[in-house]
Amino acid sequence: MKVREIMTSNVECLGPEITLKEVAQEMKSLDVGFMPICENDRLVGTVTDRDIVIRAVADGLDMNICKARETMSRDIVYAFEDDDVKTVAEKMREKDVRRILILDRAKRLVGVVSIGDISKVEERVSGKTLHDIAEAA
């Protein structure tokens, strides 16, 4: 199964010059803890709720002034939309991430997959396998 089949495709991307307060407000509005940061149609980083707390709040930065660019993680973990779900799950495990950005082959953001999305697929596959085994018996 390809990861494009399970990814969430309506992913919002914010610009690097947006303030952390605006990032946090957008996270609250979307009920997410992770925001991709894009510049000129290209992914340049991510900001998590943890990034905001550890890199900004803990250091006393002004959330009304501090920009996403100043606290975003530049080490982006991603997979391609035509990658196999098992390959993506393995990459997530290796990198110890709970969500992974999904790009097309032109390296444009097209979606996101969470550990929950992966577990639902595994649950369906496991359930079908158990069903098939029970039917055969």
* CATH number of the structural domain spanning residue 101: 3.10.580.10
CA-CA distance, 81 to 105, in Å (whole number)?
A: 8
pLDDT of residue 131: 42
Percent of the chain with pLDDT over 90: 74
The H-or-E segment that residue 68 falls in is: helix 68-71
Total domains in the fold of the chain: 1
| 127/56: higher pLDDT | 56
What average pLDDT does range 29-58 have in this prediction?
93
pLDDT of residue 127: 47
CA-CA distance, 112 to 34, in Å (whole number)?
A: 10
**Which are the contacts of 63, defined by CB distance < 8 A and separation ≥ 6?**
19, 20, 21, 24, 52, 56, 57
> Per-residue pLDDT for 62 more than 60?
yes
pLDDT of residue 90: 92
- Mean pLDDT, the chain, rounded, equals 88
pLDDT in tens, 93-131: 999 888 999 999 999 999 999 988 988 887 664 444 344
What average pLDDT does range 61-65 have in this prediction?
96
> Per-residue pLDDT for 72 more than 60?
yes
Alpha-helical runs (H) found in 73-114: 85-95
**Which are the contacts of 127, defined by CB distance < 8 A and separation ≥ 6?**
none
Q: Which structural domain, as residue segments, surrounds residue 80?
A: 3-136
> Per-residue pLDDT for 49 more than 80?
yes
